[in-house]
Amino acid sequence: MKSKGESMPKIFAGVAGIVALAAGIFGSVDPLLCLQRAAVAWVLGLICGSLWVMLIGEGTVITAAPKRDSEKTESTTKSEESGADLQAA
């Protein structure tokens, strides 16, 4: 399964391309020019989506990592305490 960072730029690019294509069709633009505009919108959407994930998406990963580490230390501390209780008995 792909992570959010891999699929979001493709989704963003697809939506941008479809919107540009629809705008060209409804605006009675030449079909070849309409496809060119949709392709440019797709490339720009891919670039902007990648930048979004790089700038915004990385912050969520960094803030989530310490929580996982603290949970692991709490569980190891509890197991060490229970091991000490068994040895004392």
Residue 12 lies in a domain: yes
Tens of pLDDT, residue by residue over 7-66, are: 888 988 999 999 999 999 899 889 899 999 999 999 999 999 888 888 887 655 454 555
Residue 65 lies in a domain: yes
Q: Which amino acid is at 11?
A: I
CB of 5 closer than 8 Å to CB of 50: no
Would you say residue 85 lies in a domain? no
**Is residue 82 in some structural domain?**
no
Q: How many domains does the chain have?
A: 1
In tens, the pLDDT along 65-89 reads: 555 555 555 555 555 555 555 565 5
- Residue 50, in any domain of the structure: yes
- Domain ranges, residue 29: 4-77
Query: Do 40 and 66 contact (CB within 8 A), yes or no?
Result: no
